[in-house]
């Protein structure tokens, strides 16, 4: 058997791929694997990836072919590829697009050049009620109202359909991108933003993956300027809605009277309407989802899903009825902790464009970031309580370790003069910190107007430190922030890690860097979950440094061990 010890990969017959972190070809191999594999584990020496059907279908949708994928693996592997891995890649990548949806006079036409495959489809019990008249052995009519359902079921069947049925143009709405903003700053799409717009427009549906701070909103504005049509935008919260509206008015040449907010506070339906997932999924007693009418309230030609990885299940259901509209999903990570990445793939569209975080960092489009996990012990009296607690209680005890308060004090002393966000999961923990340090606190209970005042004061550096709960995880634009201290998180959520790091990645004046601290109770459930969150950062090319804080009395971090 041929053996190439200088290469960084070991491809195994169970579809896992092992990558040596210290190998000189590590970064090259990481970028290659990221296009058609999923990262599962990222300890200090060997990272584990897995080849999955969905990862291969996303790769195929991006234009990668079977030959190039296999050749890339083979050139980086220490050993020859196992035969079953080669066949698995050939099989699953070639499945994407073997079935196609197109328009026909009677509705939609499901077709394939493979008559045997179409026979399998017709015989599948899960598809029986979605198929109408058989035209011939390679073509079957599907009702337009089932366009979403048929795509979902065919993904589960193992043959994701390529949707070529096109889209409604929507009501026309002329608009162009400004060349200067209201602050009289020159404005133009960055090269990678232009590429993202072009990649989306080539198909008319799908997801753009860019790090927080890299201008996903601007990509959407570029798509809107291309589409020239009524647009519905769905965002995560009222703060995000108003930031969208400000960006639209700042960078799009369009009458401000055409831009509206549909929220708990206002119910405007205008040619460009920005709403929240929360208002749409609100249920009133005796009537399900009274605000779903927004989807049909205008002749939308484009629907934009901000932070698409958070798309609620109820919206998924409605999205299946919106397949005739162009759909753009925006996210920093396609990871969904509920495992429903396949729903995004079928109902919004495949990943159409992704730019690696570290590449944008190297080009100066986002700030260079250092990621440091600081481990500290539980106090002696809580160690006994922790040992005797039930499993669910253990995590919260570790997350709310009171020793973290003293460590936060030390870190704030270290970063005097910086713009610091203290971020956490538990309001009681954050309230204690805010009161002890006499700092402003933003939680879900703070009215939106008060939040906006505090965010504005932080942006203007009138406030140097802000304590925030999960409400600041998403779509909050705080470009001056350069330090984040994460005191607690949502178990092992990789989504959350991406969003919280993203709060400090806006480019800094003079190319300044950012620092992301995560405080973790040593030898607890919290440390276990922290290792899961780090998978996301390793996937993006970041390396955590592990620091130890021996006790509250030392006030001195030990030298770090780089992972």
HSE toward the beta carbon, residue 370, CA cutoff 13 A: 12
Burial of 174 (0-12, 13-18, 19+ CB in 10 A): exposed
Do 152 and 187 sit in the same domain of this protein?
no
Cβ count within 10 A of residue 403: 17
> Between residues 550 and 431, which one has the greater pLDDT?
431
pLDDT at 339: 67
Mean pLDDT of 184-209: 91
Average pLDDT over residues 349-378: 86
Q: What is the mean pLDDT of residues 450-474?
A: 88
Same-domain check for residues 36 and 109: no
Higher local confidence (pLDDT), 309 or 149: 149
Model confidence band, residue 4 (pLDDT cutoffs 50, 70, 90): very high
pLDDT tens figures, 244-299: 999 999 999 999 999 999 998 899 999 999 999 989 888 776 667 888 889 989 99
Q: What is the mean pLDDT of the chain?
A: 87
Same domain, residue pair 189 and 316: yes
Could you give the C-alpha distances from 443 to 39, 446, 451, 462, 470, in angstroms and in order?
Answer: 33, 6, 9, 20, 7
Report the pLDDT value the prediction gives residue 555, as an integer from 0 to 100: 45
Q: Could you tell me the residue range of the domain that residue 137 belongs to?
A: 101-163
CB atoms within 10 A of CB 286: 6
Residues in contact with 441: Cβ distance below 8 Å, sequence separation at least 6, in sequence order: 430, 431, 434, 467, 468
The model's pLDDT over 222-232, given as tens digits with 9 standing for 90+, comes to 999 999 999 99
Do residues 426 and 398 make contact, with C-beta atoms less than 8 angstroms apart? no
Give yes or no: residues 380 and 506 share one domain: yes
Q: Is residue 552 part of a domain?
A: yes
Per the structure, how many domains does the chain have? 4
Q: Which residue has the higher pLDDT, 250 or 27?
A: 250
Q: Clarify whether residues 371 and 287 are in a common domain.
A: no
Provide the pLDDT confidence category of residue 563 given band limits of 50, 70 and 90.
very low
Kindly report, residue by residue over 57-77, the tens digit of the pLDDT.
989 988 899 999 999 999 999
* More confident position, 535 or 97: 97
- Are 111 and 91 contained in the same domain? no
Q: For residue 506, is pLDDT > 90? A: no
66 and 187 fall within a common domain = no
91 with 105, same domain? no
Q: CB count, 10 Å around CB of 510?
A: 5
Query: What's the pTM?
Result: 0.81
What pLDDT digit, counting tens, does each position of 287-345 carry?
678 888 899 899 999 999 998 887 877 887 777 778 999 999 998 877 666 667 788 88
């Amino acid at each position: 058997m041929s053996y190439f010890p200088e290469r960084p990969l070991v491809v195994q017959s169970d579809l896992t791929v092992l990558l040596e972190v210290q190998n000189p070809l590590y970064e090259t191999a990481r970028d290659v694997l990221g296009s058609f594999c999923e990262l599962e584990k990222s300890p200090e020496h060997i990272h584990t990836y897995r080849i999955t059907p969905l990862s291969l279908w996303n790769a195929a949708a991006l234009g990668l072919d079977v030959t190039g994928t296999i050749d890339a693996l083979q050139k980086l592997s220490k050993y020859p590829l196992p035969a079953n891995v080669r066949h698995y890649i050939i099989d699953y990548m070639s499945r994407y697009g073997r079935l196609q949806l197109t328009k026909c006079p009677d509705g939609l036409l499901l077709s394939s050049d493979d008559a045997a495959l179409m026979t399998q489809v017709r015989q599948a019990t899960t598809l029986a009620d979605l198929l109408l008249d058989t035209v011939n052995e390679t073509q079957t009519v599907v009702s337009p109202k089932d366009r979403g359902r048929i795509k979902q079921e065919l993904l589960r069947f193992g043959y994701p359909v390529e949707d070529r049925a096109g889209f409604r143009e929507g009501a026309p709405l002329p608009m162009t991108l400004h060349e200067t903003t209201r602050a009289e700053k020159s404005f133009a799409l960055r090269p990678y933003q232009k590429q993202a717009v072009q990649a989306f427009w080539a198909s008319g549906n799908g997801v753009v993956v860019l790090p927080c701070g890299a201008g996903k909103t601007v990509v959407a504005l570029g798509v809107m300027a291309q589409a020239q049509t009524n647009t519905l935008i769905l965002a995560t919260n009222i703060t995000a809605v108003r930031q969208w509206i400000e960006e639209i008015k700042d960078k799009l040449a369009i009458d401000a009277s055409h831009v509206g907010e549909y929220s708990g506070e206002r119910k405007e339906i205008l040619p460009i309407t920005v709403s929240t997932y929360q208002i749409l999924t609100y249920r009133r007693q005796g009537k399900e989802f009274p605000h779903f009418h927004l989807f049909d309230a205008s002749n939308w030609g484009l629907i934009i899903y901000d932070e698409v990885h958070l798309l609620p299940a109820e919206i998924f259901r409605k999205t299946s009825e919106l397949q005739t509209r162009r759909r753009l999903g925006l996210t920093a990570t396609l990871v969904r902790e509920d495992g429903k990445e396949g729903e995004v793939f079928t109902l919004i569209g495949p990943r159409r464009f992704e730019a690696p975080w570290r590449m944008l960092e190297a080009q100066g489009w986002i700030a260079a970031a250092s990621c440091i996990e600081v481990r500290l012990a539980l106090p002696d009296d809580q160690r006994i309580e922790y040992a005797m607690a039930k499993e669910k209680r253990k995590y919260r005890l570790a997350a709310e370790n009171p020793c973290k308060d003293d460590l936060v004090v030390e870190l704030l002393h270290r970063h005097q003069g910086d713009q610091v966000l203290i971020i956490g999961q538990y309001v009681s923990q954050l309230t204690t910190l805010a009161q002890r340090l006499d700092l402003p606190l933003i939680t879900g209970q703070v009215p939106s107007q008060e939040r906006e005042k505090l965010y504005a004061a932080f942006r203007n550096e009138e406030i140097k430190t802000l304590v925030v709960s999960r409400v600041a995880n998403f779509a909050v634009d705080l470009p001056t922030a350069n330090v984040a201290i994460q005191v607690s998180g949502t178990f092992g959520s990789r989504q959350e890690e991406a969003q919280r790091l993203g709060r400090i990645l806006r480019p800094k004046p003079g190319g300044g860097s950012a620092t992301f601290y995560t405080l973790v109770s040593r030898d607890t459930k919290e440390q276990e979950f922290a290792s899961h969150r780090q998978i996301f950062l390793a996937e993006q090319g970041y390396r955590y440094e592990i620091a130890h804080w021996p006790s509250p009395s030392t006030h001195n971090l030990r030298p770090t061990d780089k992972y």
